[in-house]
Amino acid sequence: MNKKGVGYSTIFYGTGYGNGFPDESRAIAKIEESGIVKIYVEVSDVGSGGESVMWQIASQALNINKDLVKIINTSTNLMMDSGTAAASRQTYNTGNAVLSACKKLRYNINKVIDKNQKIETVLELKLLLQIMLEKNIAILEEGYFKANTSKINEDGQGNPYWPYTFCAQRVTVNVDTETGKIDILEIVAVNDGGKIINPTLAEGQVEGGCSMGIGYAIMEEVNLDKGKIKNSNFSNYIIPTSMDMPNIKTYFIEETESTGPYGAKEIGEPVMIPTASAILNAIYDAINIRFYELPVTCEKVLLELKKKK
């Protein structure tokens, strides 16, 4: 017998390392003789789209044709430390550093041309560079950003994170009471990640996060035998595939974060956190059984159903 259930979950999640840990990012913006602006920034793009986001921030701040902007992020001997691609910090922290550098460089450019004039061609930029050099105007600027957090004191007070991202999800599941199989039918994900700089990348982050949450909730189980992992490869450690993914409806509530680059804040890790708990709530709604151990496998479902008889 198939039983359908619906579950909800809400979360909030802090940006960056937090709790007063030094969380700094740096960037350099420089007009090159070739007629492009290079942004030297240690943004490690591990699939999250960080490089594209920095490119967009830089192009906007410089008011320049995006084809004239190049992100240099592959050689640490060319740039300063910007921190890790972790803690959902790149868009907010490193984006602020890029924004700072580019705003300073644009301020210098405005000494030569009108502040509203967009730079469209390589030739324009080369001529601009020549004039700036003749007038001794800086063609290189550095940007720096440090997250504003503090440790929690003995009374539990402090500023451990800033800013926070808020997410809510509704999950619909189908539970087969004869086999114990759980199918995820639909996920509705609503996210406040501030101003979304790249909607396509952000939607991809949500879908990837939901996939990880599904695996966490009903599939991914580490089997240990005397400290040794028994299922150490993907033939027996099961993760979601495209065939396991439901229809995902993604919505963004774009509440502008005043301290973020163009109002943006984090979106990476928060989107995966509500999924598992929403799935468990949906399972409870379907078969009136509360599970407290993950993943909820077919065997666990059948065992609990048997106890109810």
The whole-number mean pLDDT for each consecutive block of 10 residues of the chain, a chain of 309 residues, reads 96 93 95 97 85 96 97 87 87 96 98 96 96 98 94 90 95 97 98 95 95 96 92 92 95 95 94 97 98 95 90
pLDDT value, residue 221:
92
Please state whether beta strands 69-72 and 37-41 pair in parallel, antiparallel, or not at all (unpaired).
Answer: parallel
Exposed / middle / buried, residue 254 (Cβ in 10 Å: 0-12, 13-18, 19+): middle
Q: How far apart are CA 157 and CA 205, in angstroms?
A: 32
Find residue 9's DSSP bridge partners: 169
Residues paired with residue 27 on neighbouring β-strands, in sequence order: 41, 143
Helices (H) and strands (E) in the chain, counts: 6, 10
Q: Token pair for residue 112? A: 């030569």
Predicted local confidence at residue 46, as pLDDT: 79
Give the global pTM. 0.91
Are 134 and 47 a contacting pair, CB within 8 Å?
no
Token pair 């450019």: residue: 109
CATH topology assigned to domain 24-146: Aldehyde Oxidoreductase; domain 4 (3.30.365)
For 2-15+161-308, CATH gives 3.30.365.10
Question: Amino acid letter at 91?
Answer: T
CATH 3.30.365.10 in the chain: give the residue spans.
2-15+161-308, 24-146
Burial class (CB in 10 A: 0-12, 13-18, 19+), 302: middle
Q: How many CB atoms lie within 10 A of CB 54?
A: 29
Specify the DSSP class assigned to residue 118.
P
**pLDDT number for residue 97:** 97
pLDDT given at position 208: 95
Q: What's the pLDDT score for residue 245?
A: 95
What per-residue confidence (pLDDT) applies to 83? Answer: 86
Question: For strand 224-225 and strand 228-229, is the pairing parallel, antiparallel, or unpaired?
Answer: antiparallel
Q: Contact at 8 Å (CB) between 68 and 35?
A: yes
- 130-134, long-range: CB within 8 Å, 24+ apart, which pairs? 132/31, 132/108
From CA 300, how far away is CA 37, in angstroms rounded? 58
Beta strands at 69-72 and 247-252: parallel, antiparallel or unpaired: unpaired
